[in-house]
Amino acid sequence: MAENIKTIQLRMNTINKVSKITNAMKLVSMSKLQKYQRRIKEFSEIVAEYEDIPSEKMVDSENLDVLAVCFVPDLGLVSGYNNAITKAARELNPDAIFWLGSQNYEKVSTIPDLNVVNEKMQSDHLHIDFLYDDIVEYLKEYQVYLAVPHMRGNDLEISWKYLNEQLTYSDFIIYEPDYDSANERFKQFNLLLSLYDAYYQSKYSENMTRRIAMEQATDNANDMREELGNRYNQLRQERITAEILELSAGVE
């Protein structure tokens, strides 16, 4: 019985350590959440304004193959995010995929119907301006769909932003200095804003997914600790009772 009590004490100590780690990781994720929430808020009004500008698919873009661009995490404990983005990519069924992040890169690269076009790269220190140049080149060869994650409560949803867009021409609008120049500016800013928005949304969703996972892990650890505590008290009481019975028998 003494050995059982000692075993339970060791397990409780281990759970206490795990609980401290998961709680600390949850706090880190919450701090990052606030950071990306501020970034999203900064861009949201500008993105909304550009979405109100009449646009249409670029000429002849529908004849091109499809490329999916996906932002994914570099660190683990985000299986919910990885599964959601992989599922969304397979449902889109693109001809190629640009996988921006190290998580699940090897796994996705082995999926026969997902042709990964880039080398393994990290997303945490990604320069969007450099990525912009890559996407501009891909727009010449592909219809490009950008994955945009959104958190709906504790659920992650993936929508697709079509990037092969141009300014819709209208005889009732005066373009300065002309339509072609205005169209080029629209395509540049629309693409850049879309990339920043999707990147910040992905990082927010990543850290929200990790925070939820760490919160659940902490709650589970607390439940296990409470259960072990009850078992510990029960065994300790049984040992005390047994010792009293032995003493009583000796007196008799």
Distance, CA of 139 to CA of 161 (rounded, Å): 13
Please say whether the beta carbons of 139 and 163 come within 8 A. yes
**CA distance linking residue 29 with residue 17, whole number of Å:** 19
Number of domains in the chain: 1
Asked if residue 36 belongs to a domain, the reply is yes
C-alpha to C-alpha distance for 117 and 108, rounded to whole angstroms? 11
pTM as predicted: 0.86
DSSP 88: H
Within a domain: 97: yes
pLDDT (tens, 9 = 90+) of the chain, 252 residues, equals 555 888 998 999 999 999 999 999 999 999 999 999 999 998 888 888 888 899 999 988 889 999 999 999 999 889 999 999 999 999 999 999 999 999 999 999 998 888 999 999 999 989 999 999 999 999 999 999 999 999 988 899 999 999 999 999 999 999 999 999 999 999 999 999 999 999 999 999 999 999 999 999 999 999 999 999 999 898 888 888 888 888 877 655
Cα–Cα–Cα angle for 114, 120, 126, rounded to 5 degrees = 115
Task: Confirm whether 140 is domain-assigned.
Answer: yes
Domain of 101: which CATH number?
Answer: 3.40.1380.10
Token pair 């873009």 in the structure block, residue: 61
Domain that holds residue 112: 22-212
Q: Is 13 exposed, middle or buried (0-12, 13-18, 19+ CB in 10 A)?
A: exposed
Characterize the bridge pairing of strands 55-57 and 96-100: unpaired
Residue 229 within a domain: no
Backbone dihedral region for residue 59 (phi beyond 0: left; psi -120 to 50: alpha; all else: beta): beta
